[in-house]
Chains A and B, each alone.
Chain A
Amino acid sequence: MDVGPRQKQAFFATQRVKNTRWYPFTRETGAGSPLLRHGPFQPGISGKLRAPDLSIMAPSSLRPPSLHDPPELLEEVDLDLERKRRIFDLYARLDDVSYYELLGVPEVSEKKVIKGAYYKLAPEFHPDSYFRKNLGTFKPKIEAIFTRLTLAHDVLTSRQRRAEYDSYLEQTLQNRSIADALSHADAEARAVVEQIEQTARAIAPAPLQAPVPSSRAPLSIDERRAILARKLAGGNIGRLGPRPKMESTPPPPPVQVNDSPEAKRAAAEALRVRFEAAKAEALRSRIATYRRNAEEAIVQNDYAKAANAYRVAAHLAPEDVELQNRCEEVQRLAASALAAGYLKQAAYEEREGRWAEASLSYTRAAEGRPDDAVAHERAANATVRAGGSARRAIEYARRAVELDPKNPECHITLARAFIAAGFAVSAIAELDRALAVGPLDAQHKATANELREQAHRLQKLG
């Protein structure tokens, strides 16, 4: 799945639906920009997971203070500079560190170690340690840090929640690396072309003057194919960036051997042909390597790697329709695998009641699996629970119903979305449809009844 600019925009929009606090923070987001919000440990806008390398850090867990002091540190409060810096620094990185990093414990720590770390850090960031002191803007920061420390402690000291968090952590890492890998295909392709040209140049130095290609020449069949392939690839795979300028083989100029400058030219031309040949050869071998790697990766179920390799290969050989098709196919597999990852991630977030994040993950999963009714239904449900856009929830729920009209859950969720949007009549109609599907089990029945009551209340009020 490509994380193109459009997608990023969407991330950004949903990122705001996160459930913590905002940054009264101008250094990163730019003065006057809307306040950004981050979810806990959500690799998002700025978030790069700095995963296991920090696990060896001392219990203080905190990076050395930033080299320059931001003006915020000048605020006159009852705290010494060192402490201010520590608070400021940790606060700024709160969303970028994992719970382990926050508590400064290795990921394999026993419960006792985690508790110990929490008990050591909690007094430092508990406002009671600064009772009736003037803390200015540091007070909310301290409280935010404390809240996060407590969350980290609560999660990591519960066996079940910790296991879930661990796999979630792994899953987010994995999802990120897949998403990253997929989005890096472009760059990799460019790098490969660059490399090949260099190699070719070593074999045969490129001609000093590039010959003028006949631009008006009618499109060759190959070129037409390439354009078609590009069009095909442009669909839901996402578009590759502008193709690196490759000196494609120009029509050979008429060969004239008489003149001595002509001869020189001919020599240069020969050189150029050798250069092109070397390049073409290198390209062919590279494409073959990438294809091989990709197929191997598929065998190993590493769809991200496969998709990535195919994308580079397809990029290098735009005229190869068969390759383009295969590439597209693998991309779909990768997207589906990523969607599966997002589903897992979302399931954890859902269990934790982090609905906003669950909504985001389910949405991504649904995008990766446009025909998956459950993903759409869950996306709608999580969006409603998160208090997100009711319209979007309705869209997802509608799609879920469309995909699986026999599933009462889809109808119930659509009804829930209608209620969230304030459409009582539609909600009631949808609940009737859920009943029409067939007899409901006890839980569905209870939910449906509850929703019906809500809808009626809504109707009365409206």
Chain B
Amino acid sequence: MERVIGIDLGTTNSCVAIVEESVPTVIPNRGGYKTTPSMVAITEAGKRLVGHIAKRQAITNAENTVHAAKRLIGRKWSSPQVKNAILTAAYKIVEGPHGDVRIHLRDKTYSVPEISAMVLQEMKLFAEDYLSEPISKAVITVPAYFNDNQRQATKDAGQIAGLDVIRIINEPTAAALAYGYGKTEEKTIAVFDLGGGTFDISVLEIGSGGVFRVIATAGDTFLGGEDFDARIIDWLVQGFKDQYGVDLRQDRMALQRLKDAAEKAKCELSSQNETEVNLPFIISSSRNEALHLQRTISRTTLEGLCEDLVERCIDICKQTLEDARLERDEIDDVVLVGGMTRMPKVQESVQDFFGRPPNKGVHPDEVVALGAAIQGAALIDDSKQMILLDVTPHALGIMTYGSNFEELIPQNTTVPTSRSKIFTTSRDNQTAVKILVMQGESQNAAENELLGEFILTGLRRAPKGQVEIEVTFEINSDGIVSVSARDLETGQQQSIQVTASSGLTKEEVGQMMEAAKEYLVDRRASDAFEGARQEAEKLITEIERMFPQVEHIVAASDFGRDAISKARTILDRVRQAIGKKDAAAVKEQMESLARTHRMFKGVVARPNG
């Protein structure tokens, strides 16, 4: 049976896990770390960097390093969130051909799913290295409050990365799966997930027999660690301006350094009461003097700066409990997920609100990936008795005459589900009706997210209000929305599967997939070359070290002179192959190189020389 990996594609960090012999395990990356920064960079030489190495060079290559791509995924160019991101991001965000968002790095423009695919591809490689087998199936997590367009874009990213995304699941739900895995007692829990970019709260019931039922879920897709960082940056920038009259925002590199420093300070303030931000030579003044930023920030200051952010989280919790029709004391446990929940103020507020200390038994950075892996295993393996009953986080409906939003499936409805409603024509002799499928909570259709549209044609001619059309919405267990419309009198019926638009066409996804495959081939080849090069160079170094001694010992004999010149030829050939980056040629020479190495060693080791 093919194995399924679980990937937590985070705003700032990503994590991959698998279930091995019933034990969910996090797969470490090549550096041995369990999480990998969700960062992608293109170097001056056009080389792609992902993860830690991308993060390490972010300051010097800020304009070509993408972080927090998740905040842009599946969003429209015109959305306020994108406008906001353009102001703060060091990389260049441009408009795509379908009103979507693209990112310009060096001389190429990438779609957001492509960037995310680079991270996913990396995670896939780690898993393949670790398991020594090819992997093609994955469960990927998204914030519970993601809409269908964002989910589809994430799915596209998986496809581009060469993954069959068998399911997209919600991050807090995944965390709950990992929390409840193997436990038998029945419980009602709340998962408080404050990550790098998004906030989610889910209330679940863990039932007997491996049933996980989500009761309610809510969140904010633009509230996370990044926003806390931004508050610190604002504070530092303002302070610097007050002191020197210089705006650090003008300098992208300075901004990137500030970003790093702010994140670091925030993390440090989780364990210390005070920390110093020290950025020498951050900018030069108008008189070309070097200016340094040096400021002390206390935990209290940080808490003051971010008070409203924490409050927003708690307000959403309140609303969610109301939606779930639960009292605070009916929650048996509160699980904290996401790096931001390390902040003492967040923990305190959660404890105050729920009236109980939060559970510390799960690892906030790894639990989501573990849950995704658990869900993957449960889907593929029939013997695993585990069922996840999730809900739809947003209401679904259609736009009716006068731009009103008519809700068909309310928020927090357990999926799969279906509902129908009857609508009538709004004009005399109307023969076609356009059905706009929307997602959101606003009464005004324009404020909701458009998922798709289709036209029901061939209605019989009749005065307005007389033709009755029944519209049925269905969400299946894969989260796919299908809508059908039927003329009640004639039985004429049309239906569509609403494929939420990720901003990419099918062809584009196909092309990007090909490009990613090609990259992978190159990447594999360069990995192979790198391995061979390192091995060869090690031998070359040793041979060269022994060369004078060997030459001295064997120079007397013809045979020796011959051997020396042969060794020289081999070294030259290997060096040439390395120079040409020809992995095959290097490997070809490896045996002769190794033989030479052995012979040299033998000569050197011979007693009395």
Residues of A within 8 A of B (CB): 16-17, 19-21, 34-35, 115-116, 119-120, 122-123, 126-129, 131-132, 143-144, 146-147, 150, 154, 158, 356, 386-391, 419-422, 454, 457-458, 461-462
Least CB distance, B492 to chain A, in whole angstroms: 12
**Most chain B CB within a 10 A radius of its CB, from A115, A128, A146:** A128
Q: How many A-B residue pairs have CB under 8 A?
A: 102
Q: In the complex the two chains form, is A129's CB within 8 Å of B401's CB?
A: no
Q: In the complex the two chains form, is B387's CB within 8 Å of A147's CB?
A: no
Q: Which of B14-22, B81-89, B234-242, B462-470 contacts A (4 or more CB under 8 A)?
A: B462-470
**Which single residue of chain B is at the shortest CB-CB distance from A21?**
B418
Residues of the A chain whose Cβ atoms lie less than 8 Å from the Cβ of B404: 454
Q: In the complex the two chains form, is A116's CB within 8 Å of B422's CB?
A: no
Q: In the complex the two chains form, is A122's CB within 8 Å of B416's CB?
A: no
User: What are 12 A-B interface contacts by the 8 Å CB criterion?
Assistant: A21-B420, A119-B211, A122-B213, A127-B416, A127-B476, A127-B477, A129-B387, A132-B379, A389-B465, A390-B465, A458-B401, A458-B402
Residue in contact with A144 in the complex, picked from B418, B420, B477, CB distance below 8 Å: B418
Q: In the complex the two chains form, is B427's CB within 8 Å of A422's CB?
A: yes
Q: In the complex the two chains form, is B385's CB within 8 Å of A123's CB?
A: yes
Q: In the complex the two chains form, is B419's CB within 8 Å of A19's CB?
A: yes
A391 to B424, CA, bound (A): 11
Known contacts A17-B422, A387-B423, A461-B402; 4 additional CB pairs below 8 A are A128-B378, A150-B417, A420-B465, A462-B426
Q: Which of B35-43, B202-210, B295-303, B363-371 contacts A (4 or more CB under 8 A)?
A: B202-210
Q: In the complex the two chains form, is B418's CB within 8 Å of A123's CB?
A: no
**Can you list, as one digit per residue, whether each of B555-572 has a CB less than 8 Å from chain A (1) or not (0)?**
000000000000000000
Q: In the complex the two chains form, is B401's CB within 8 Å of A461's CB?
A: yes
Q: In the complex the two chains form, is A128's CB within 8 Å of B387's CB?
A: yes
Q: In the complex the two chains form, is B464's CB within 8 Å of A421's CB?
A: yes
B414 within 8 A of A: yes
Q: In the complex the two chains form, is A387's CB within 8 Å of B422's CB?
A: yes
**Which single residue of chain A is at the shortest CB-CB distance from B403?**
A457
B583 within 8 A of A: no
B554 within 8 A of A: no
Residues of the B chain whose Cβ atoms lie less than 8 Å from the Cβ of A123: 209-211, 385, 387
A146 to B421, CA, bound (A): 20
**Residues A34 and B208 in contact in the complex (CB < 8 Å), given A21-B472, A144-B418, A387-B423:** no
Residues of the A chain whose Cβ atoms lie less than 8 Å from the Cβ of B419: 19
A421 to B423, CA, bound (A): 10
Least CB distance, A258 to chain B, in whole angstroms: 76
A390 to B469, CA, bound (A): 13
- B331-384 contacts to A, CB under 8 A, are 378-380
**Which single residue of chain A is at the shortest CB-CB distance from B390?**
A128
A204 to B404, CA, bound (A): 77
Q: In the complex the two chains form, is B207's CB within 8 Å of A115's CB?
A: yes
Residues of the B chain whose Cβ atoms lie less than 8 Å from the Cβ of A126: 387, 389, 477
B455 within 8 A of A: no
A352 to B186, CA, bound (A): 28
Secondary structure of the A side of the interface?
A: helix
A120 to B338, CA, bound (A): 32
A21 to B205, CA, bound (A): 28
- B166-186 contacts to A, CB under 8 A, are 166, 186
Residues of the B chain whose Cβ atoms lie less than 8 Å from the Cβ of A21: 418, 420, 472
Instruction: Please name the 7 residue pairs, one residue from A and one from B, whose CB atoms are nearest each other, closest first.
Output: A457-B402, A387-B422, A119-B207, A127-B477, A123-B387, A421-B465, A390-B465
A254 to B21, CA, bound (A): 106
B218 within 8 A of A: no
Residues of the A chain whose Cβ atoms lie less than 8 Å from the Cβ of B379: 128, 131-132
A278 to B400, CA, bound (A): 71
**Residues A454 and B402 in contact in the complex (CB < 8 Å), given A119-B211, A128-B387, A128-B388:** yes
Residues of the A chain whose Cβ atoms lie less than 8 Å from the Cβ of B464: 421-422
Residues of B within 8 A of A (CB): 166, 186, 205, 207-211, 213, 325, 378-380, 385, 387-389, 401-404, 406, 414, 416-424, 426-427, 464-466, 468, 472, 474, 476-477, 488, 491
A389 to B462, CA, bound (A): 14
Residues of the A chain whose Cβ atoms lie less than 8 Å from the Cβ of B403: 457
Least CB distance, B477 to chain A, in whole angstroms: 4
Residues of the B chain whose Cβ atoms lie less than 8 Å from the Cβ of A17: 422
Q: In the complex the two chains form, is A122's CB within 8 Å of B389's CB?
A: yes
A44 to B211, CA, bound (A): 35
A128 to B211, CA, bound (A): 12
Residues of the B chain whose Cβ atoms lie less than 8 Å from the Cβ of A146: 416
Residues of the A chain whose Cβ atoms lie less than 8 Å from the Cβ of B420: 19-21
Residues of the B chain whose Cβ atoms lie less than 8 Å from the Cβ of A131: 166, 379-380
Q: In the complex the two chains form, is A158's CB within 8 Å of B418's CB?
A: no
Residues of the B chain whose Cβ atoms lie less than 8 Å from the Cβ of A115: 186, 205, 207
Q: In the complex the two chains form, is A143's CB within 8 Å of B422's CB?
A: no
Least CB distance, B379 to chain A, in whole angstroms: 4
A415 to B491, CA, bound (A): 30
Residues of the A chain whose Cβ atoms lie less than 8 Å from the Cβ of B207: 115-116, 119
A457 to B446, CA, bound (A): 13
Q: In the complex the two chains form, is A119's CB within 8 Å of B208's CB?
A: yes
Residues of the A chain whose Cβ atoms lie less than 8 Å from the Cβ of B476: 127, 143
**Which single residue of chain B is at the shortest CB-CB distance from A459?**
B402
Residues of the B chain whose Cβ atoms lie less than 8 Å from the Cβ of A461: 401-402
A116 to B476, CA, bound (A): 24
Q: In the complex the two chains form, is B402's CB within 8 Å of A116's CB?
A: no
Residues of the A chain whose Cβ atoms lie less than 8 Å from the Cβ of B414: 150, 154
Residues of the B chain whose Cβ atoms lie less than 8 Å from the Cβ of A391: 465-466
**Which single residue of chain B is at the shortest CB-CB distance from A387?**
B422
Residues of the B chain whose Cβ atoms lie less than 8 Å from the Cβ of A19: 419-421
**Which single residue of chain B is at the shortest CB-CB distance from A131?**
B379
Residues of the B chain whose Cβ atoms lie less than 8 Å from the Cβ of A420: 424, 465
Residues of the A chain whose Cβ atoms lie less than 8 Å from the Cβ of B388: 128
Q: In the complex the two chains form, is B387's CB within 8 Å of A390's CB?
A: no
Residues of the B chain whose Cβ atoms lie less than 8 Å from the Cβ of A462: 426-427
**Which single residue of chain B is at the shortest CB-CB distance from A356?**
B422
Least CB distance, A92 to chain B, in whole angstroms: 17
A123 to B477, CA, bound (A): 12
Q: In the complex the two chains form, is B426's CB within 8 Å of A422's CB?
A: yes
Least CB distance, A170 to chain B, in whole angstroms: 24
Q: In the complex the two chains form, is A147's CB within 8 Å of B402's CB?
A: no
**Residues A34 and B416 in contact in the complex (CB < 8 Å), given A387-B421, A422-B426, A458-B401:** no
